Each structure stands twice: as structure tokens, then as C-alpha cells.
Amino acid sequence: MTREELEKKHPDYEGFATEWRFFLRSYFGGKMYREGNYLLKHPFESASNYARRKATAYYYNYCGPIVDIFVAHLFRKPAVRNYGSLSGDPLFKSFLANADMEGANLRQFMREAHRFAAIYGRVSIVVDMPALSVSTKAEAISSDIRPYVSLVTPENLVDWAFEKEPSGRPSMSMAKIKEDKSSYRIWTRQGWELWRTIDNGREVALEGSGEHNLGVVPVVNLYNRRSGIRMLGVSDIQDVADINKNIYYLCSDAKEIIENTAFPMLAVPYEKGGGSAPAELGPKNILQFDPELPNARPFWLEAPHSSLTEIREWVRQDISEIFRIAKMGGVKATEDAAAPRSGVALELEYQQLNAALSEKADNIEQAEREVCEIWARWQGERFDGTIDYPDDFSVRDLDRDIERLMKVLGARIESVTFGKELQKSVVRSVLPKIQDEVKDRIMEEIDGKNLGAV
């Protein structure tokens, strides 16, 4: 293999790598965002002023909370898992307790995997097997030699290929993962190879290889939402990040306007024949004018600050659009009493959010099932279990639901059954995380009451 072949990247990787890095920086913010150089330099702005403006710029991070809220909703209720014949396997129990060999159980790992899938649109999970060989299962159990998972972001999975199976279903036939600056691991349906660049990157060398009988590439793709293009998902912040970047610009401009207004610019006549220095923007510079002009005398030029009002309105509009695009307009409407929204509009938005969460849950469910299937293949077994993530998510305002329920309770409807069911509904709304045995006891106490007329 040549260096060019080893470092070859998929065309879609070349086209989206910059966008993926932008999404990641938009999520984490802070120093990572500032180092992305997303603050544009104004025409004629001095290098020193631009450097100062970058150093003092601040980033209102709306991307991070949006991703975290979606993840919290998805994993608020535990998935229903039945691992079938693998349930009693000590090695599989060890995998469930420490899926990545770094202390994260499978649920924690899938939660973090989806967090990055929500940022990038898609991440990949490698189900690998330690190179150590054991002769018996007892030895494997004592040494904890079993398959494990590792997360690969789109920035590190640089090339891939798909082939159609005899059934017509496309499946991955090759995945090239960049493990560090100089090494690449290439997975195929038959095995793997580890290559490294040497001699300052001019040559390549095969450092290791291995075979497996899985019949598939042990890589599972976890999509946030599918885009219709293989290996490309839809990020939760792909539109929000651009609006958030515009807020970053506007806040920097507003800060600059305030500084320019506070420190007016001095204008003085220039000397004849002395030439003039290139004009640079900034409150510390001096403007020069022709001394032969009428009423030519030094003066202070104060920058207008009327545009601050427009910038504030623009920022408010951008924030509203962020909530709308993220399908969280109901949260914004609750916070902003000056902008009430109709119940129909909010209900439609809740339905859209619920549908988006349901799609995400289906993708996580599929990815986790495929992880278990490949784990079983490594062990020469077959996964016959089921994994079911919740499909319905409560995204309505809790206080509003409780208020509605209490109003109905006060309507004195002449039905004992109706009254009991309403009380149970209140319990489920107020105490969503209560232990099952406590909830059952409360329900029994409600059923045991003779409420009569409510």
C-alpha cells in the first residue's frame, strides 16, 4: 500500500469534515470555539484591533443545551431490554457493566454515543475483541477477555465502502479509522490491518493484522436522524449553529460600538506633502483631513450608537429562531410572557418534538441491537433478544397539565371511577420517577377509597 492510498479519504468526508468540526466547537464553546476563528475581520481593521476583539469576544452557547435537553428526554425512561440466551452469560454481564473497558456500562455508553451523534449527525461504534487468545471460556471469564465497544466520530472514520449482499441489502465492506496522527486501522469483512506512516510520512508500514469470521465489518452506525445519504446524518444543531455564530458576530459588534462611542476618534489636519497613513478602524486611531477645507480645525468624531437597538432586536430574533428550529418554542413562550402563543401552535410544536424524539429513539434502538448482534458473533453465538426504547415522550409543560387536572377534579363530576383515574393521572404527572412498588401502593390506596361524588 502506498502513502497516497493509505491517506485517501472518502469524498463525503472531504466535503463535510469542516462542518463536523464546526458543530463540535459550537457544542463545547469556550476556548475551542474561539480557536475556530469564526469571528470575521472587518475591512481595514488593524491586526491588533482584530486580535483584541477576538480575545474579548464571548459566545452565548445555545447549541450545547439543545443537544443536552434532547439526550435527557431520550434517556429519561429506561429502555426495555431482554437479552435472551445471552442474559446468563458471565462475559455478557461483564460487557453490560463495563462496555468500553473504561468503566462505562452499556446504557451510559449509548447515551454518550447518541450525544455525539446529535452533534455530528452520525457516529460509529466499533465492536472489537482483544488480541489475547484463551483456550477455554473459564479462562476468558477469569481474565475478562470478551468483546468491547469504542466510539469513533466522523472526523476519525475517514474512508468507507459498501457492497450489496446477495439479498440486495447494502452492507459495509470496508472502514478506515484514523487512530492517531500516523496510524490507520482498516476493517474488512474478513479481518483488520494496522498501518503506520514512517520516515516523516514518506513511507508506510504494516504494523499488525488479524482475521475474524464475523462475515461483517464490526462497525455500527448510530444516526441522530437519517439524511438519505449513506454515512451522513442530520445534526440537531446544523441550522442552530449558524444562527448562534451570527449572535457571536453581533455581540462582538455591539461591544465594539460601545467602545467606539465611549472613546471618540480625534480628527486633525494632515501635513502637506507628508503623505497619509492607511486608514484603519478603531477608537484609538486619528483621522486626518485637508487643512485647507473651510472651518478646518481639530475635532472629536463620536461614533453613532443608534445601531445598538437594531443589534439587540436582531439578537432577540435569532434567539427566537433557535428555539423554533429546535422545536422548543413552547419553552421560549413560557419564558417570554410578552410573546404569548396559541395553544394550537404549541400543541403542533409538541407533536413535532415528540416525532423527532421518537425517530431518534428508533435509531438508538437499532444501533444497540446491532452492537449486541456483533458481540454475539465474536463469541460464536446468536443474539435472540429484544431492545425497545420508549416511543412516546412527555414534552408538555407539567404545571399546565397539573392545573388542568385539578380544574377537572374540582368540577364535581358524579363518577367514582372518573375521580380515581384522575387522581392516578395526577400521581403519574407529579411523581414520574417514583419507585414501582411505591406507585403501586399509592394506586391501590386510591382504588381502595370510596370517593363517592368527586
Residue 127 included in any domain: yes
Q: What angle do CA 12, 111, 354 make, to 5 degrees?
A: 85
Quote the pLDDT of residue 288.
Answer: 62
Whether the predicted pLDDT of 349 surpasses 80? no
More confident residue, 412 or 384: 384
Residue 325 included in any domain: no
More confident residue, 273 or 128: 128
Whether the predicted pLDDT of 400 surpasses 60? no
Residue 346 included in any domain: no
Q: pLDDT tier at 323 (50, 70, 90 boundaries)? A: confident
Whether the predicted pLDDT of 147 surpasses 70? yes
285 with 403, same domain: the answer is no
Whether the predicted pLDDT of 342 surpasses 70? no
Residue 332 included in any domain: no
What mean pLDDT is predicted for residues 100-107? 95
Which of 283, 301, 319 is the last residue in one of the domains?
301
Quote the pLDDT of residue 72.
Answer: 87
Q: pLDDT tier at 166 (50, 70, 90 boundaries)? A: confident
Which of 258, 283, 301 is the last residue in one of the domains?
301
280 with 150, same domain: the answer is no
pLDDT tens digit string along 44-103? 888 888 888 888 888 989 899 889 988 988 898 888 999 999 999 999 999 999 999 999
Quote the pLDDT of residue 148.
Answer: 97
pTM of the model: 0.76
Whether the predicted pLDDT of 392 surpasses 60? yes
Quote the pLDDT of residue 313.
Answer: 86
143 with 208, same domain: the answer is yes
User: How far is C-alpha 181 from the geometric centre of its chain's CA atoms?
Assistant: 25
What mean pLDDT is predicted for residues 187-192? 96
361 with 410, same domain: the answer is no
Residue 255 included in any domain: no
Residue 150 included in any domain: yes
Domain that holds residue 443: 398-448
286 with 197, same domain: the answer is no
Give the separation between CA 363 and CA 226, rounded to whole angstroms: 9
Q: How many domains is the chain partitioned into structurally?
A: 3
In terms of C-beta density within 10 A (0-12 exposed, 13-18 middle, 19 or more buried), how is residue 114 classed?
A: buried
277 with 382, same domain: the answer is no
81 with 178, same domain: the answer is yes
Using a pLDDT cut of 90, give the percent of the chain over it.
Answer: 44
Mean pLDDT score of the chain: 83
pLDDT tens digit string along 209-257? 999 999 999 999 999 999 999 999 999 999 999 999 999 988 888 887 7
37 with 80, same domain: the answer is yes
Whether the predicted pLDDT of 301 surpasses 70? no
Q: pLDDT tier at 337 (50, 70, 90 boundaries)? A: very low
Quote the pLDDT of residue 334.
Answer: 43
Find the range with the poorest average confidence among 51-55, 376-380, 419-423.
419-423
154 with 293, same domain: the answer is no
402 with 384, same domain: the answer is no
Residue 316 included in any domain: no
281 with 206, same domain: the answer is no
Quote the pLDDT of residue 451.
Answer: 47
What mean pLDDT is predicted for residues 27-36? 91
Whether the predicted pLDDT of 398 surpasses 50? no
Quote the pLDDT of residue 454.
Answer: 41
Find the range with the poorest average confidence among 114-123, 191-200, 209-218, 422-431.
422-431
Whether the predicted pLDDT of 281 surpasses 50? no
Quote the pLDDT of residue 265.
Answer: 63
More confident residue, 453 or 251: 251
Residue 48 included in any domain: yes
For cell 428555539, what's the residue? 323
Whether the predicted pLDDT of 329 surpasses 70? no
Using a pLDDT cut of 70, give the percent of the chain over it.
Answer: 78
Quote the pLDDT of residue 300.
Answer: 56
Quote the pLDDT of residue 421.
Answer: 81
What mean pLDDT is predicted for residues 304-333? 73
Quote the pLDDT of residue 169.
Answer: 86
14 with 94, same domain: the answer is yes
